[in-house]
Amino acid sequence: MGIRDIPHRGTRYTWCNSHTTDPLSIKLDWAMGNVVWREEFPSVYAEFASQGPSDHSPCIIHYPPSPNQHPLKALNASNFSQLSKRVKEATEALARLQERNLSNPSVEQILEERSLRAKMMILVTTEERFYRQNQGQRISSPELIRAHAIDYYSSMLGERDGNIRTPAIEWLQDLIEFRYQSENYEELVKIPTEEDIKQVIFLFPDNKAPGPDGYPKEFFTSA
């Protein structure tokens, strides 16, 4: 299949642990494409931007620019320019700080990033409410939300390509050279101790949920 990295720009690293005791930034995220796709879109490149509200850098795939302006841009310019300007300024300020943290993290910058992130989220939420008031009816029924999501992604992604097959295990093994040593298998299946779990939870960044129940780190550390 010839999968290779897509030419990319933006931040050098894509994830920061946001720890105030031992800040660390590394590259965890990559953009890749196969030969057929690269031949179809030779000018495509990936941009790794600052994290925004997440802890990973979003990857934006850039195609040749479209001549048609998105209708939401016109709506924004005519009705919500001041609020959108504040959101843009807050986002850019946060992006600049996050880029510094990804390159050279420090305790002071991480604390400042948390403050800027909170301010930006307030502005983004306010802007979203304005758009919602002017963009039709809000859907609250789980059935309607499910149907809307299916319609949206079906129209965006299209139908499944019957020519695409699941790769064989042997092909994946040839592609990935790394092998875990058999004598270390016990470490992979070993049940963690209470102390192991406690250490991991206390290393979590603030306001992060370690599981699908949504309870943040603070719920467990203060219990």
Q: State the 10-residue block means of pLDDT for the chain, 223 residues long.
A: 83 86 88 85 87 84 62 52 76 87 86 87 77 62 81 73 80 81 79 89 81 79 79
For 186, residues 6+ apart whose C-beta sits below 8 A from its C-beta are none
User: Distance between CA atoms of 110 and 18, rounded to whole angstroms?
Assistant: 6
Tokens 């299209």: give the residue. 158
- Same domain? For 179 and 87 the reply is no
In a domain, 162, yes or no: no
**Surface-to-core class of residue 75, CB atoms within 10 Å of its CB (0-12 exposed, 13-18 middle, 19+ buried):** middle
Boundaries of domain holding 84: 4-157
- Same domain? For 137 and 206 the reply is no
What confidence score (pLDDT) does residue 135 get? 55
In a domain, 166, yes or no: no
**Surface-to-core class of residue 45, CB atoms within 10 Å of its CB (0-12 exposed, 13-18 middle, 19+ buried):** middle
Q: Give the residue from 111, 133, 157 where a domain finishes.
A: 157
- Same domain? For 140 and 33 the reply is yes
- Same domain? For 104 and 184 the reply is no
- Same domain? For 153 and 176 the reply is no
What confidence score (pLDDT) does residue 133 get? 58
Domain count of the fold of the chain: 2
Enclosing H/E stretch for 134 = helix 107-134
Q: Give the residue from 128, 157, 186 where a domain finishes.
A: 157
In a domain, 84, yes or no: yes
In a domain, 165, yes or no: no
* pTM more than 0.75: no
- Same domain? For 187 and 150 the reply is no
- Same domain? For 146 and 176 the reply is no
- Same domain? For 77 and 136 the reply is yes
CB 183 within 8 A of CB 190: no
In a domain, 163, yes or no: no
In the chain, DSSP finds a helix count (H) and a strand count (E) of 9, 7
- Same domain? For 103 and 212 the reply is no
- Same domain? For 144 and 179 the reply is no
In a domain, 118, yes or no: yes
- Same domain? For 153 and 188 the reply is no
